[in-house]
Structure 1
């Protein structure tokens, strides 16, 4: 008896989680190709599987969610620190402004990748 997988079983692609692939800025279709060619410019097609991304459009959806998340975290944290410790306003601004910019920039690519993955997962037309 031969327990090795057959040739057809080894050539089938692994099942990937599209949302995780989008969060890691990888192609949600295959999980291997790059999703962005610049900071936020989506590639036209995946270099590995050839999936066409020109039909997908997330618009400003990711930016809206990221602004709400980053703004909420920083504002409520700053409010807590202001009430609890009463630091000078210049110290609050010196900490809060770079923090909100850093969170926004750091979460923007994964957020846009997740939006693209969700758009693919929930009904965008696919090449088959």
Structure 2
């Protein structure tokens, strides 16, 4: 992830295999990371069972908020691809029990088609 992407809050993809070991304490047996994206210190992780939004807080980042969203709680989603002038893609999720959607920016070059397919598989299959 480049310096300007980090400042602008754009996400870049993280190696799922490396992250699997780091997050193993909060994952259940057999749960696997399928895709993961990082924005500065925060991450959102698509596992075989849920979406985990990880918010590192404070100066040191030792305080961490883990928000689990079961795929069955996602009622609608939108994936917007990057254009000529708008260089970023965007993922929007509408979750049961929330009034406002959750929006995440993805940097240009992120596999938005793969994310679209992953969510469609989890929600519609």
TM-score tier by shorter-chain length is under 0.3
> What is the TM-score normalised by the length of structure 2?
0.24
Higher helix share: 1
Name which structure has the greater RCO, CA cutoff 8 Å, separation 6+: 1
Identify, as 1 or 2, the structure richer in strand. Answer: 2
User: TM-score, normalised to structure 1's length?
Assistant: 0.24
